[in-house]
Amino acid sequence: MVQVSAGLEGVIAAATVLSDVDGQAGRLTLRGWAVEDLAGRARFEDAAHLLFDGFFDDLPTDLAPALGAARVRAFAEVVALDTALAARDPYDAMRALLARLPDGETLHDALVLAAAPAVFTAATLRCRDGQAPVAPDPALPHAADFLRMIRGAAPTEGEARALDAYLVTVCDHGLNASTFAARVAASTRAGLGSAVLAGLSTLKGPLHGGAPGPVIDMLDTIGTADNAVPWLEAALDAGERLMGFGHRIYRVRDPRADALKAALARLSRTAGALPGRLALAEAVERAALDILRRRKPDRPLETNVEFYTALLLEALGFPPQAFTCVFAAGRTVGWIAHAREQQAGGKLIRPQSVYVGPRPRAAA
């Protein structure tokens, strides 16, 4: 009997120089850097440079001006954002606009794709609220301009640094589901736009990048710390999964959760309003971990990146419906780098299935 590896668990499908997820030790290494060292120090542009290095011959030392110009190029597509598209889920609207970009191979194509999620998310959120889109300022750092394009006003330095910490933290993560999808598309020699769209579509679901919105719903419904245990027990009794907990690879705490919690703590020192929310989240986290340990003693289920993503993006003023768009704004550079790596050295990805349907019928 042929063994099927459900969910491809344990299958090694690529060699990569980009990132290493050590699930037993709870370590994420991005091209030789521990994620917690990179987040909080590097800007998004630096992370993009780190990932693109070696995959484009014409990579400049400082990516910031080229990424700024790429935001301006992406903004030209915002004319296609009509009221019907703006009324859709922000993720779907962003993906539809992204599909208009060239399916090319150059560094310029890559940078426009990398810049686009921020530009399209900002424009979509503003149109949804009946406001005119704000054009990019190519002279600003990417994270600061992302927030400015949404708000129509410059963010504080602390807010821009917090968004940088988030985008850097999520920029790449081994062969996660969306990166695998991007590599499959790239392995057919489709262009970078196709690889990014494959990754984008795969990121959307709540078992992957769609979890942080529901984390906010969970915190809002729980409301107070003393309601955490009964609510969580009832959700699990109803067969639900707790969003923001569990991971395919990590058997200990996801190191990105700590990187984001640290970014949140830095932000709260400058922004004020967070302590109550953070205290509720910590109480819910403690209760959830206790309950999961008791109910699933054989399956270590720890906090994953999405739990503190939700809190950080909420603190930065993003509406929960846009959280996955912001995740994509960080992860796109990872998809692009993996697509280039796959094309440089990889074969067509084409696994096999085992047929379990009926045998051919005898012709009458």
Beta bridge partners of 20: 29
Strand order from edge to edge, sheet including 27-30: 19-22, 27-30, 33-34
3-class SS of residue 30: strand
CA distances (Å), origin 156, targets 143, 271, 317: 11, 9, 13
| Residue from 41, 269, 293, 299 binding ligand ACO (CB under 6 A) | 299
3-class SS of residue 321: helix
Is 109 near ligand ACO (CB under 6 A)? no
Report the residue number, 5 or 83, with the smaller CB distance to ligand ACO.
5
- For residue 241, how far is the Cα from the chain centroid? 20
Is 122 near ligand ACO (CB under 6 A)? no
Q: Which residue in the list 49, 173, 247, 338 is annotated as catalytic?
A: 247
| Residue from 207, 234, 265, 279 binding ligand ACO (CB under 6 A) | 207
* Binding region for ligand ACO (CB under 6 A) out of 25-33, 105-113, 304-312, 339-347: 304-312
Examine the residue annotation and report whether 338 is marked as an active-site residue of this protein.
Answer: no
Is 172 near ligand ACO (CB under 6 A)? no
Give the nearest distance from C-beta 272 to ligand ACO in angstroms.
29
> Residue 24 corresponds to which tokens in the numbers above?
């037993």
| Residue pointed to by tokens 């990179």 | 38
Examine the residue annotation and report whether 282 is marked as an active-site residue of this protein.
Answer: no
| Residue from 27, 108, 208, 286 binding ligand ACO (CB under 6 A) | 208
| Residue from 127, 242, 280, 326 binding ligand ACO (CB under 6 A) | 242
Half-sphere exposure of residue 269: CA atoms within 13 angstroms, side-chain side? 9
Report the residue number, 64 or 329, with the smaller CB distance to ligand ACO.
329
| Residue pointed to by tokens 């995740």 | 327
CA distance 146 to 142: 6
* Binding region for ligand ACO (CB under 6 A) out of 10-18, 106-114, 181-189, 294-302: 294-302
CA distance 263 to 269: 10
Q: For the chain, what is the largest distance between any 2 Cα atoms, rounded to a whole number of angstroms?
A: 79
Is 246 near ligand ACO (CB under 6 A)? yes
Is 228 near ligand ACO (CB under 6 A)? no
Catalytic residues: 247, 306
* Binding residues vs ligand ACO (CB under 6 A): 7, 206-209, 211, 241-248, 296, 299, 301, 304-306
